[in-house]
Structure 1
Amino acid sequence: MNADSRDIRLTEAVALRTAGRREEARDLLVALADRHPDDAEIAYQTAWAHDVLGLEADAVPYYERALAAGPDALGAEDRGGAFLGLGSTYRVLGRYEDAVATLRRGAEEFPEDGALRAFLAMALFNAGKAHDSVRTLLRLLVESSEDPSVQRYRSAIVYYAEDLHRVE
């Protein structure tokens, strides 16, 4: 299959998924992934196709393959989406420590991505790290909220987020 054909088939598969024809999209993407096992973009789209069908366990190897291809194998938006998709999928599957590690990596690589940090907070909570979870959410709140009262108390929120048990 030449590059033009690969691109046409990938575009077709994404259009099928977008149009709600998810099974057809998944079938086409699995076939493409079999033909192009080192193609991070195809792996990412194949993972996504499985995820939207509720086939989280089947999505995992495709997400892992997409991320293993390295930081330059996907565009920034897709790479961030792959971290979020894999981390969220791990969390849904009860693989909380894997979820935390993946989402933390994603949040470090994309610190401006609030969704990664929100999903990281959920995974931290599931992993029994409630303090880290709340701290992550409080930091996200003060960085993303336009609420004047949150901004007025920003420094206090950040200060206490570091040690929620602090009494003064």
Structure 2
Amino acid sequence: MPQKSTDNWLVHDHRRFEETVKQCELAAGAEDWKTAVQLFNSVSDDLKLHIQMEDEVIYPFFKQEVADPDDDLGDLMYEHDNLERLLNDLAKVIKNRNFDHFETSLEPLYQAMVEHNAHEEEVLKRMGDEPLLTNRDRIVQQLESIKPGVSRNWEF
């Protein structure tokens, strides 16, 4: 079950997601498929909620409060679309027990996640945290009211 706590609402779980994907890859490489599938399911659930929180609260907030002349937020949402596709593809590989392709399919997800995380951190840092801090209570309330799984077409 994904954590929905917003106690550290400015601290992203990016590094934890990246590490879990790497651990999943190591488990698959050691042919410990039970662990690989458990790790994939865990990171998928958490990542789905994380993306949803950004899509529904964080990005719209910045679009409303901060100028985004280069449409960096649109680019970040496009990257979320790509992560969604990669997660859906990998879920099919796992569901079909096609473990020969598991590691091969995991690498593009990991790479896209690392690139997106770096891009997002750079964009949000540039936009500044003052608007977030000023509106912290309202944003936290919105984050806590999210119902997981509503906004995207997850196939699993």
Per the shorter chain, which TM-score range?
0.3 to 0.5
- Whose RCO is larger (CA < 8 A, sep 6+)? 2
TM-score by length of 2: 0.32
TM-score by length of 1: 0.31
